[in-house]
Amino acid sequence: MAKVMTKPTKPTKIPVIRLTDPSPADLARAKGKALRAKTPRPSHSATMGKAKGRDPVAIILASDVDRLQNLVPTRHTRMLESPFAFYRGTAAIQARDLGTLPSSGIVIQCCGDAHLANFGGFATPERKFIFDINDFDETAQAPFEWDVKRLAASFVLAARWRGFSDDKGKDIAISAVSAYRRNILRAAGEATLDAWYAAVTWEGVLEEAKGDEAATKRVTSLIAEAQKQTNEHVFHKLTTLDDGEPRFLDQPPLLYHPNDIDVREIAGPFLKNYVSTLSADRHALLGRLRFVDAAIKVVGVGSVGTRCYVALMLGDQNEPVFLQVKEARDSVLTAAAGGKSWANNGERVVVGQRMMQAASDMFLGWAKGPAGRDFYVRQLRDMKSSVDITTMSARMLGRYADLCGQTLARAHAKAGDAALIAGYLGNSDAFDTALGAYALAYADQAEKDYGAFKRAAGAGKVKTTSSPGETETMIR
């Protein structure tokens, strides 16, 4: 048998890296700094580019399409509570406005709705209690500053809602931006895995509050509150017994069983598809939980009217486990930033959340519903807590702004390129000052939009409801 002669291949040449060469982080910093020439940091004070045909009411009504129409009046009523509540429900308006402005050119995974009420505490799968972003419905690729601008403006609106002066509100917004910049600069000098593993823990928050009696008391109270937010607590609050089996107690319009579908009939196929997106060990865990019931549960402001269910599962000892099944629609960032569309927006949410959060819910997954809509799944409550700003002093709100800025920087450092952003931001307060001006001016714009929305509601162009219990404070 003849030998087959093969030409010897050359060994792969491994590039020699000298310690004296610039590191990737050094190169990224230099690239980020160079981007200032195209988009100077002071230019971020602008609030509006050419926005032809801008109609905030039309944008809101367009976002109501394909929502549950019986809940749309509830959404509008919650938005009418205050300019800050309105801002919470109008990420689509700000995304459109941001898309008209000069961009840093640094595109990363963004939260998409990083206002101050979308941060809070929860337990990790390892049972550590951390503080992090907790809403990723709008997550997508976009310029990093879009998240920072949404956060900063939310603090000015919240400060006004609390009756603080605009000078104080601007200072609080700058506190958030300054904390973001400082922590991005710190993360840019960390090892890659250190940035990935970083987390904002409540122990760390307590340590920073040391010496401040009021702050320490508030943080301690939050931790105690979170420890009460268990499945057992939710079970007694939301369920009743029906022929010996627990069922959700109908409390329309905020919690109810839908009339047009049999949730028990569709639950099996849906959960089977959802489980396929989890790792093998989670398959085994879900296999030990028995589905019992599901109902529609209204949450938040911006999400009201989207299809959001809560599912009751029982474990080996008949202990309750609650899963939230939430509809995922196109991100408001996609059109504004020119990003890609996803085959399943539930997957978009899950991927973005896993990229940005320090630790994500172990039940986090996605699936399509029977009508082809996209959904993602997570636990309803697991030691979750939110900060109540209704009684915060200006000083305490400033401390909270610092915490949110720090947390957003951690998320961006994990999901993006901290060195690139750090190079752009630099050591001066140029970016901080620009965003302070932006936050104040955009709060003015949001209040004008709120006024237009309020007038439309008064004229009957926007459906609302005044049912008892519908206008509860939504700041928390």
Query: For position 219, what pLDDT does the model report?
Result: 83
Considering the domain architecture, whether residues 49 and 183 belong to the same structural domain is answered as yes
Considering the domain architecture, whether residues 190 and 290 belong to the same structural domain is answered as no
In angstroms, what is the C-alpha Rg of the chain? 24
DSSP state of 13: P
Q: Which domain holds residue 316?
A: 232-326+359-379
144-164 confidence digits (pLDDT tens): 999 999 999 999 999 999 999
Whose tokens are 């230019």? That residue is: 43
The count of structural domains within the chain is: 2
pLDDT(451) > 80: yes
Prediction pTM value: 0.91
The β-bridge partners of 297 are: 255
Query: For position 16, what pLDDT does the model report?
Result: 60
Query: For position 341, what pLDDT does the model report?
Result: 87
Q: Where are the beta strands (DSSP E) in 328-475?
A: 365-368, 374-379
Considering the domain architecture, whether residues 303 and 318 belong to the same structural domain is answered as yes
Decide if 318 is inside a domain.
Answer: yes
Decide if 424 is inside a domain.
Answer: yes
Decide if 343 is inside a domain.
Answer: no
Decide if 302 is inside a domain.
Answer: yes
Q: Residue 264: phi, psi to the nearest 5?
A: -70, -35
Q: Would you call 92 exposed, middle or buried from its count of C-beta atoms within 10 A (0-12, 13-18, 19+)?
A: buried
DSSP state of 251: B
Question: How many percent of the chain have pLDDT more than 90?
Answer: 71
Decide if 297 is inside a domain.
Answer: yes
pLDDT(2) > 70: no
Considering the domain architecture, whether residues 87 and 169 belong to the same structural domain is answered as yes
Decide if 253 is inside a domain.
Answer: yes
Decide if 25 is inside a domain.
Answer: no
3-state secondary structure of 466: coil
Closest CA to 435 of 51, 175, 67: 175
- H-only helix segments in 338-475: 345-356, 394-415, 418-425, 430-458
375-396 confidence digits (pLDDT tens): 999 998 767 778 888 989 999 9
Query: For position 14, what pLDDT does the model report?
Result: 65
Considering the domain architecture, whether residues 145 and 258 belong to the same structural domain is answered as no
pLDDT(201) > 50: yes
Considering the domain architecture, whether residues 211 and 76 belong to the same structural domain is answered as yes
| pLDDT confidence tier of residue 470, bands split at 50, 70 and 90 | very low
Decide if 428 is inside a domain.
Answer: yes
Considering the domain architecture, whether residues 190 and 51 belong to the same structural domain is answered as yes
Considering the domain architecture, whether residues 44 and 92 belong to the same structural domain is answered as yes
Distance CA 84, CA 256 (A): 28
Considering the domain architecture, whether residues 67 and 180 belong to the same structural domain is answered as yes
Considering the domain architecture, whether residues 50 and 96 belong to the same structural domain is answered as yes
Give the pair of three-digit tokens for residue 16: 């020699």
264-318 confidence digits (pLDDT tens): 888 888 999 999 999 999 989 999 999 999 999 998 898 999 999 999 999 999 9
Would you say 258 and 296 are in contact if contact means Cβ atoms under 8 Å apart? yes
Distance CA 178, CA 186 (A): 12
Over residues 56-70, mean pLDDT: 95
Closest CA to 255 of 269, 268, 244, 240: 240
Considering the domain architecture, whether residues 202 and 299 belong to the same structural domain is answered as no
Considering the domain architecture, whether residues 242 and 117 belong to the same structural domain is answered as no
3-state secondary structure of 73: helix
Residue 35 half-sphere exposure, CB side, CA atoms within 13 Å? 22
Q: How many CB atoms lie within 10 A of CB 168?
A: 18
